[in-house]
């Protein structure tokens, strides 16, 4: 099983953990240099997630409005056309 884990990670577990810690420290330093904090990043992701959900449901509401608006015109025309063709 250890061979499968090592193959998945690309190296031994210990070396992979050390590499990840070093990369996390470097990326954290760069992000801190530009003024990012964990709260900024998590808050921004949460805001964008909620914004996508909100706009997505608004789009679904718009689709429902379009459906009803089109049905107001299409259904009566369909019924009239069916009645005309039924008489023939």
Domain spans of the chain, in order of start:
1-35, 45-87
C-alpha distance from residue 63 to each of 51, 67, 76 (Å): 18, 6, 20
pLDDT of 35-87, one tens digit each? 988 888 888 888 888 888 778 777 777 787 788 888 888 888 888 888 888 66
Dihedral angle, C-alpha 20, 25, 27, 31, nearest 10 °: 150
The whole-model pTM stands at 0.50
């Amino acid at each position: 099983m250890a061979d499968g884990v090592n193959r998945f990670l690309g190296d031994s577990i210990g070396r992979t953990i050390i590499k990840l810690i070093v990369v996390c420290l470097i990326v954290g330093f760069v992000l801190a240099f530009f003024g990012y904090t964990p709260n900024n990043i998590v808050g921004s992701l949460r805001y964008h997630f909620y914004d996508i959900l909100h706009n997505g449901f608004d789009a679904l509401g718009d689709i429902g409005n379009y459906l009803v608006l089109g049905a107001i015109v299409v259904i009566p025309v369909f019924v009239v056309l069916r009645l005309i063709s039924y008489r023939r």
